[in-house]
């Protein structure tokens, strides 16, 4: 669950409008939410606050039951593991193949080689890239690179996936494919928050839409009552406006997120023990991921 209470962010205290101005927002476990708004409206600032890359000037942010301002510096890496993140420019490691780009995220949390060798092929097949595990980013299309980034974001099984303009560098077909992939991930229980400019995708996807302008939420199609929510999604527009205050506190749905997440990710032990040719192939994908001879800085 993500909750913002009276959150403001003023980069340059006092000079002009704050990037976020008294924002209240609640996103339940298992929701799929778009955040839209003109450039400069505060969308990326919001994402950075959720990742604790920035501190709010005032207000409270609660994620998965924890107040972000109570998280100590040394607890931040652990906190960030609960959140996967994807950016417009993919941010892959150029000198590593697909396998090692994804494996890297597991390595930094100290996952065992054995588990990494199970988990990476599993997640790559989920994102449709099982056959490309040896490819380097430069050998992939934009859509494929974004799939690698999504695999990397999901490999540690975060409860929440944040995406800041994930389709901004993609053509329409690839953008749509990435959105469908995100929808699939969401169907398996992961909370998804997507910042986008692509209003065509937003209206076709028919999800909750939070519209921002100049640091404030000007519209939110999310509704506390599912019956009301249905009538809010009649194509094209963002649905009827709802003062956000109505929602707070009364919006409790049971998404049974956890069991569905397990279905998407598979469970450890159901793969990786069979020794199939496919799996063996992955074993050879690149240098051992924790063998110390793969040029890593650690
Ligand atoms: P969006 O992602 O919606 O385009 P941003 O969150 O990036 O908007 O920016 C919101 C406002 O905050 C803009 O006016 C922007 O110029 C300002 N801003 C963003 N980052 C910084 C920064 N590091 N220092 C000062 N102002 C910033
Ligand atoms: Mg932005």
**Domain segments of the chain as ranges:** 2-279
What pLDDT, on the 0 to 100 scale, is given for residue 264?
60
Flag whether the pTM goes above 0.85. no
Q: Say which CATH topology domain 2-279 has.
A: Rossmann fold (3.40.50)
Q: Which residues contact 189 (CB under 8 A, 6 or more apart)?
A: 29, 30, 255, 256, 257, 258, 259, 260, 261, 264
Q: Which ligand sits closest to the CA of 216?
A: 1
Residue indicated by tokens 């929808």: 183
CA distance 253 to 233: 19
Do the beta carbons of residue 76 and residue 48 sit within 8 Å?
A: no
Q: Which ligand sits closest to the CA of 38?
A: 1
Do the beta carbons of residue 99 and residue 130 sit within 8 Å?
A: no
- Which atom of ligand 1 lies nearest, measured to the CA of 38? 3
pLDDT in tens, 182-205: 999 999 999 999 999 899 999 999
Cα 251 to ligand 2 centroid, rounded to whole Å: 28
CA distance 101 to 105: 7
Cα 49 to ligand 2 centroid, rounded to whole Å: 13
Q: Which ligand sits closest to the CA of 165?
A: 2
Give residue 295's Cα distance to chain centre. 28
Q: What is the 3-state secondary structure (H, E, C) of 107-173?
A: HCCCCCHHHHHHHHHHHHHHCCCHHHCCCCHHHCCHHHHHHHHHHHHHCCCCCEEEEECCCCCCCHH
CA distance 239 to 253: 20
CA distance 169 to 61: 30
Dihedral (Cα; 155, 160, 165, 168), 10-degree rounding? 40
Substitution site in 11, 37, 87 for ligand 1 pocket (most atoms within 8 Å of beta carbon): 11
pLDDT above 50: residue 17: yes
Whether the CB of 44 sits within 6 Å of ligand 1: yes
Cα 212 to ligand 1 centroid, rounded to whole Å: 13
pLDDT in tens, 50-70: 999 999 999 999 999 999 999
The residue whose CA is least distant from atom 12 of ligand 1 is 19
Return the minimum-mean-pLDDT range out of 3-17, 124-138, 157-171, 271-285.
271-285
Give residue 145's pLDDT band: very low, low, confident or very high (50, 70, 90).
very high
- Decide: residue 40, CB within 10 A, 0-12 exposed, 13-18 middle, 19+ buried: middle
- Which atom of ligand 1 lies nearest, measured to the CA of 42? 6
Residue indicated by tokens 């969308």: 43
The residue whose CA is least distant from atom 27 of ligand 1 is 11
pLDDT in tens, 269-291: 333 333 333 333 333 344 444 43
What pLDDT, on the 0 to 100 scale, is given for residue 115?
97
The pLDDT of 84-90, averaged and rounded, is 96
Whether the CB of 207 sits within 6 Å of ligand 1: no
Closest to 106 in 3D by CA, of 94, 95, 88, 118:
118
> Computed over its alpha carbons, how large is the radius of gyration of the chain?
20
Whether the CB of 266 sits within 6 Å of ligand 1: no
The pLDDT of 25-53, averaged and rounded, is 97
The pairing of strands 191-195 and 32-36 is: parallel
Cα 41 to ligand 1 centroid, rounded to whole Å: 8
CA distance 233 to 159: 26
With H, G, I as helix, E, B as strand and everything else as coil, classify residue 84: strand
The residue whose CA is least distant from atom 5 of ligand 1 is 42
pLDDT above 80: residue 148: yes
Tokens of 150: 């999504």
The pairing of strands 58-63 and 2-9 is: antiparallel
Do the beta carbons of residue 222 and residue 208 sit within 8 Å?
A: yes
């Amino acid at each position: 669950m993500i909750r913002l209470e009276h959150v403001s962010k003023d980069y340059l205290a006092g000079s002009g409008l704050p990037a976020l101005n008294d924002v209240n927002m609640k996103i339940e476990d298992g929701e799929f939410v778009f955040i839209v708004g003109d450039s400069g409206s505060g969308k990326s600032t919001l994402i950075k606050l959720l990742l604790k890359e920035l501190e709010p000037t005032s207000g409270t942010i609660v994620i998965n039951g924890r107040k972000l301002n109570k998280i100590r510096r040394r607890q931040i890496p652990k906190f960030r593991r609960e959140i996967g993140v994807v950016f417009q420019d993919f941010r892959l490691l150029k000198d590593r193949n697909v396998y090692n780009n994804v494996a890297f995220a597991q390595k930094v949390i100290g996952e065992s080689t054995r588990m990494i060798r199970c988990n990476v092929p599993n997640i790559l097949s989920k994102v449709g890239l099982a056959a490309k595990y040896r490819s380097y980013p430069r050998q992939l299309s934009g859509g494929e690179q974004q799939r690698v980034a999504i695999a990397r974001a999901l490999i540690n099984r975060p409860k929440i996936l944040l995406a800041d303009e994930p389709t901004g560098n993609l053509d329409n077909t690839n953008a749509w494919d990435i959105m469908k992939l995100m929808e699939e991930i969401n169907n398996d229980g992961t909370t998804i928050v997507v910042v986008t400019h692509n209003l065509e995708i937003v209206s076709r996807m028919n999800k909750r839409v939070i519209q921002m302008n100049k640091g404030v939420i000007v519209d939110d199609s999310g509704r506390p009552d599912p019956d009301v929510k249905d009538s809010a999604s009649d194509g094209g527009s963002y649905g009827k406006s709802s003062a956000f205050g109505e929602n707070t506190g009364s919006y409790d749905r049971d998404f049974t997120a956890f069991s569905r997440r397990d279905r998407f990710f598979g469970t450890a032990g159901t793969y990786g023990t069979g020794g199939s040719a496919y799996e063996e192939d992955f074993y050879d994908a690149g240098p051992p991921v924790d063998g110390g001879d793969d040029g890593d800085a650690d």
